[in-house]
Amino acid sequence: MRNSILFFAILGFALCAQNPLFLNETYTSGLVNIQKSSDIFYWLFESRSNPSTDPLVIWLTGGPGCSSELALFTENGPFTVNDNLTLDSNPNAWNNNANLVFVDQPVGTGFSNAGKGELVKNEEEVGEDFYQFLLGFLEQNPQYIGRPLFVTGESYAGHYIPAIGAELVKQSNPKINLQGLAIGNGWVDPEVQQPSYGQYAYENKLISAFQYFTVVKPALAVCSQLIGIDAPLFLSNPFCNLGYQTIVGYGQTPKFNVYDIRKPCIGSLCYNMTNVDNFLARNDVKAALGVSGRTWQECSNTVYAALSHDEIVNLAQKVAYVLESGVKVLVYSGDQDFQCNYLGGIAWTNAMEWTQQEAFQNAEFQSYNVNGQSAGEIKGAGNFQFLRVYQAGHMVPMDQPIVALHMLNSFISS
């Protein structure tokens, strides 16, 4: 009975709709079955420009276990939520020139369901599940078969995106036209990125020189070395935690907003997401999305726990594999973020071994201009680029929406 209900629901999801509730943006939402009893939720917004020809851009929020609707309503989606739970249009939404899909993955994230024993435990499973999701998505939305595809996201998506990109390259399915990956403030190579916590904190005066040289730097050096030899977590975690917590403090709330050092930390995610929580709890909203009876949550602790051993895995070689296939990759990083800071981003992109590693290392940063103003600095080699975005935190589209949209449009049209 459940399967037949889902079948008829999916038929409805595949039909694009407009709803005053969602400011008459043309959208589709749906569920794609994964494994035995799990599914993945998506919310697609058609391009505001040329939906029949514009590329398909997928967005993945990190966590692990955090819903992509967080970005939809606070970063690059077509609207934001007001205090009275109405919506305002976002003029810098990423569906201005692209068909934009927000995906709640892995299973168990956001509106997605995880069957018993079906939570993913590593990035190979993330990639395999996402490939199955994409096949189901294209079945429900066949107009996107063969359309240029770009997979984007931030934070722990620095693990997801390389794994997904590598799986799509490996599968080489003619229905899937992967053209590029874009990773924002991503957690990709922990061995290389861990020491950057100390360097960034010291350079930005978040800790004293005494704290840096006597505690933080040596602790994170040992942390990095242990990660590099695949030491068990019970050995590496004490050193990693000592270095990190000396910087941010030992309380439940960090001493500063780890996602934007210019701001205070408010709430569990350091940002007040109450309006998003309340909007997605409304029965009329859930009915319009086809997820009545489900409960949305910002981030899932069970998904996070299932991936507990995945955090220290290096995904840089997956990025290299994708690059060698000819797919282009953009790594961008807001420079006010501590959590996945740009110094670590520069470090892991320089350390990644691939055929143009030396050319990338030797490339000089150039000014990245938007509307005649320097908005950052960029360097690259071949089909690989690193962009530092000035005056942006962990969520670049939130802090620099015009720059972020310019960045996306340049990436998908070049």
Q: How far apart are CA 222 and CA 240, in angstroms?
A: 8
User: Is-contact 190 311, C-beta < 8 A?
Assistant: yes
User: Is-contact 80 25, C-beta < 8 A?
Assistant: no
CA trace torsion 366, 370, 374, 380 (10° rounding): -20
Q: How far apart are CA 250 and CA 195, in angstroms?
A: 19
User: Is-contact 407 268, C-beta < 8 A?
Assistant: no
- Whether omega before 232 lies within 30 degrees of 0, making that bond cis, reads no
**Which residues have a catalytic role annotated?**
155, 337, 394
Q: Which residues of 393-406 are buried (b: 16+ CB within 10 A; e: fewer)?
A: bbbbbbbbbebbbb
Residue 65: which of 270, 301, 271 has the closest Cα? 301
SS3 80: strand
| Tokens standing for residue 138 | 């294209």
Q: Residue type at 395?
A: M
User: Is-contact 161 186, C-beta < 8 A?
Assistant: yes
At residue 30, φ and ψ (nearest 5 deg) are -165, 170
User: Is-contact 165 325, C-beta < 8 A?
Assistant: no
Vertex 236 angle, CA 193 and 304, to 5°: 75
